[in-house]
Amino acid sequence: MSLSSSAHPHGVKTVIVPAAGMGTRFLPATKTVPKELLPVVDTPGIELIAEEANALGATRLAVIVAPNKQEVMRHFEQFPNLVETLTERGKFEQVAKVQRAAKLMTPVAVEQAKPLGLGHAVGLAESVLDDDEDVVAVMLPDDLVLPMGVVEKMAAVRAELGGSVLCAVDVPREEVFNYGVFDIEEIPADSDLPADKVKRVVGMVEKPDPADAPSTFVATGRYLLDRGIFDALRRIKPGKGGEIQLTDAIELMIREGHPVHIVVHEGKRHDLGNPAGYIPACVDFGLSHPTYGPGLRRAITAILAEHEAADTAEAAGAAQHPTQN
Ligand code: UTP
């Protein structure tokens, strides 16, 4: 069912990276800096995705870019002058950093003229696929799923059960209202796959009330999609916010009998798409960093102590001078 196993060990040649969104939750930074280039410590999200795609064995990174976000593609250029200057100065570690992205993947740009939605962005990538590609991976560059390797697990599920496979994480029920939530059923008991990690998807509900949520398994930014997704994307109408939603196309495929499963990811996940997720990601990566980790740990401990002292002083002040009404 898939491509040459030696060239693409998991059957995935193309990873689609939608990077044409407006990044409104990150304004004002995203007036001039694409959110996909915001650094996690020192490495932009787009390079972390290139690393994940490279590890998967994919050979094409189809980056969906907006006309005003060309810097995302520039990140994969060679920068010969910078390399020359750094080399002359003996800064070889920095040379390796400059060259790393281009060594990981050679991206192909697909322009999305207007941000008409994630589904629309993914649909545009069909133009760069070869005829023999029956599956694509989609990796959202503002979503880190760690440790890397979940798409490899998803490919193993597709190899056994066919269809499309999505990545899910299990969140506390009170948090489901932030996410797309899967309506699931168990896989057959005689399957070799682990029933606690692999479920069949029968539907999806966007941002439900916790009491109404069909499960606590929520969507993350990793998709392994059968090529039929492109046909489904052409047949759906704009949904929420007037955008072409990827989940609407997946739901259409489910309704038409296409098998869709989730792999429940058990590691970490960081949502880089908004400051509330980006800041913890930087702290997490920073604490693990060999150079910055020890100092950052001390700095965070000191900052926490300062804030706690200020909170305690404020609480004591409020107790002494209760607000008069
Ligand atoms: P998001 O909804 O998280 O990104 O889309 P956004 O639209 O940039 O964010 P806000 O809501 O304005 O803050 C998930 C991914 O899909 C891409 C985004 O760039 C992001 O990587 N995307 C989204 C597109 O490529 N095109 C679109 O039309 C919408």
CATH number of 5-273: 3.90.550.10
Is any atom of ligand 1 closer than 6 Å to the C-beta of 146? no
Is any atom of ligand 1 closer than 6 Å to the C-beta of 141? yes
Query: Helix, strand, coil proportions of the chain in percent (round to 5)?
Result: 45, 20, 35
Q: What is the pLDDT of residue 281?
A: 98
CA 254 to chain centre: 22
Is any atom of ligand 1 closer than 6 Å to the C-beta of 121? yes
Q: What is the pLDDT of residue 5?
A: 54
State in Å: Cα 114 to ligand 1 middle. 11
Is any atom of ligand 1 closer than 6 Å to the C-beta of 23? yes
Query: What is the spatial distance between Cα 162 and Cα 224, in angstroms, rounded to a whole number?
Result: 11
Among 275, 192, 189, 261, residue whose Cα is nearest residue 222: 261
Q: What is the pLDDT of residue 81?
A: 98
- Residue extents of the structural domains in the chain: 5-273
Is any atom of ligand 1 closer than 6 Å to the C-beta of 142? yes
Burial of residue 225 (number of CB atoms within 10 Å: 0-12, 13-18, 19+): buried
DSSP secondary structure code for residue 142 in this structure: T
Q: For every residue of 46-90, which 3-state class applies, written as one string?
A: HHHHHHHHHHHCCCEEEEEECHHHCHHHHCCCCCHHHHHHHHHCC
Query: What is the spatial distance between Cα 186 and Cα 189, in angstroms, rounded to a whole number?
Result: 8
- The ranges of the chain with pLDDT < 50 are 1-2, 4, 325
Query: What is the spatial distance between Cα 313 and Cα 43, in angstroms, rounded to a whole number?
Result: 39
Q: What is the pLDDT of residue 6?
A: 65
Q: What is the pLDDT of residue 190?
A: 86
State in Å: Cα 24 to ligand 1 middle. 9
- 127-184 residue pLDDT tens: 999 999 999 999 999 999 999 999 999 999 999 999 999 999 999 999 999 899 999 9
This model's pTM is above 0.75: yes
Atom of ligand 1 nearest to the CA of 36: 21
Query: What is the spatial distance between Cα 204 and Cα 201, in angstroms, rounded to a whole number?
Result: 8
Is any atom of ligand 1 closer than 6 Å to the C-beta of 64? yes
Is any atom of ligand 1 closer than 6 Å to the C-beta of 123? no
Is any atom of ligand 1 closer than 6 Å to the C-beta of 126? no
- 216-242 residue pLDDT tens: 999 999 999 999 999 999 999 998 789
H-helix or E-strand spanning residue 111: strand 107-111
Residue 181 phi, psi dihedral angles, 5° rounding: -110, 135
State in Å: Cα 118 to ligand 1 middle. 6
State in Å: Cα 115 to ligand 1 middle. 8
Q: What is the pLDDT of residue 2?
A: 47
8 Å CB contact between 220 and 143: yes
